[in-house]
Amino acid sequence: MFSLAGKTALVTGGASGIGLAISKLFAAKGAEVHILEINGTLAQEEARQIRNNGGKAEAHQTDITKQDEVRSVVNSIAVQSPIDILVNNAGIAHVGNAETTQEEDFDRLMLVNVKGAYNCIHTVLPWMRGRQQGVILNMCSVVASVGIPDRFAYSTTKGAILAMTLSVARDYVKQGIRCNCISPGRVHTPFVDGFLAKNYPGKEEEMFAKLAATQPIGRMAEPHEVATLALYLCSDEGSFVTGSDYAFDGGFIKIANG
């Protein structure tokens, strides 16, 4: 079950954190994985590691905020291998409320998190529509559904991703294209470690424990756990699922805030 053999998958931000876990698992399940990543050196290294482990992976240094650049990369892939899967994973975070968030920060998050996802969807859809099949998976967040302190801009962008997911699912269901999103709670990624080191030097372990405890299950998720849900939603076993948002939060929304 859950084989992706013969499928081509694009993963934005696919060289670190959740994106890397998805890239590795999809390749292990037989997909030809294309990592679209702003950090070209990192993408090349992770793609090489996947190939060394017997998988198929290519790296593409890509700024997803630039539609012409995205179109060039997507088209170069599509003419070689039909695109079956797009995972919109790339994104950035910000700490601040509506007063402390500066205009340049708000614009930057909207550009990367919202326009970046739009650019990829906009460019991939014609190829999928031409084949009357395809899967789009967007990485959302629990902040699209519940209020989190000091995440004004980030929450705004993830709310947009949720609405974008529902819109695409509705518009393209008759064309054989499915679109879903995953809303993780806190996941232990390099971003979390970097955030704690920057904002709580010397208290990283203490703050990590506090953040983990906010989820009723008592810990943060690991990236590979999110990847397993992504695999289901992008595989043929998930063929009946579209227009859905999956909370992956250790009970945070329904138990802690229900």
**Contacts of residue 83, Cβ cutoff 8 Å, sequence gap at least 6:** 8, 10, 74, 77, 124, 127, 128, 134
| Containing structural domain, residue 94 | 8-186+223-256
Residue 216 inside a domain? The answer is no
CATH code of 168's domain: 3.40.50.720
Percent of the chain's residues with pLDDT above 70: 99
Instruction: Please give the Cα distance from 68 to 81 (Å, whole number).
Output: 20
Q: 3-class SS at 55? A: coil
Backbone φ and ψ for 187, nearest 5 degrees, come out as: -125, 135
Residue 199 inside a domain? The answer is no
Give the residue ranges of DSSP H helices in the chain. 17-28, 40-52, 67-78, 103-109, 116-131, 152-172, 190-199, 204-213, 223-234
Instruction: Please give the Cα distance from 23 to 34 (Å, whole number).
Output: 8
CB of 151 within 8 A of CB of 143? Answer: yes
154 is catalytic: yes
Structurally, the chain folds into a number of domains equal to: 1
User: Which pTM does this prediction carry?
Assistant: 0.95
* pLDDT score for 258: 52
pLDDT tens track for 177-228? 999 999 999 999 988 888 789 878 999 999 999 989 989 999 999 999 999 9
Residue 193 inside a domain? The answer is no
Residue 170 inside a domain? The answer is yes
Residue 168 inside a domain? The answer is yes
Please pick, among 118, 154, 172, 246, the residue that the annotation labels catalytic.
154
